[in-house]
Amino acid sequence: MHFLESKAAYRDGRALVFHNIDYLMMTLKLMQKDYLYLANCLVPMGEQIGMSQQELADMLRTKTRRFTEEEIAAKFKKPVSAAERKSASVPLTVEDEKRGVADEPLAAVTATDEEEGCRSRK
């Protein structure tokens, strides 16, 4: 019922809506790059209406491209601790202050800690 009431919002947001598929199967089909299977499960909306199964599969393929290293670095940049920031003279950002990064201690892992962890798993 919610979908029918909100269909315009999904269409305007260019959402991809699927039916008769769960997240596990979707993950498997994405890993197998089986875009035709996914196209068969796609509920066409907006500009997708009237597209052939192959056109839908091609459209899905464009939405699953690999991220570049620059995009990954921009999205998931490593947070800098307060001690590292002080030694590098880098000012805190507003987001860092909200998260309390200034109070975080540096976490140190020695090679022996890693070796012990590996031994305990064997």
Residue 88: count of CB within 10 angstroms of its CB = 8
In this predicted model, what pLDDT tens digit does every residue of 30-46 receive, in sequence order? 999 999 999 999 998 88
Given a contact cutoff of 8 angstroms between Cβ atoms, the answer to whether 57 and 48 are in contact is no
Only one residue has tokens 């997708």, namely 48
pLDDT of residue 54: 96
Q: Answer for the pair 57, 39: CB distance below 8 angstroms, yes or no.
A: yes
The span from the CA of 25 to the CA of 35, in Å, is 12
Spell out, as residue ranges, where the chain has pLDDT lower than 70: 1, 13, 79-122
Token pair 């056109």 in the structure block, residue: 55
What are the residue boundaries of the structural domains of the chain, listed by start? 2-62, 73-121
The structure's pTM equals 0.54
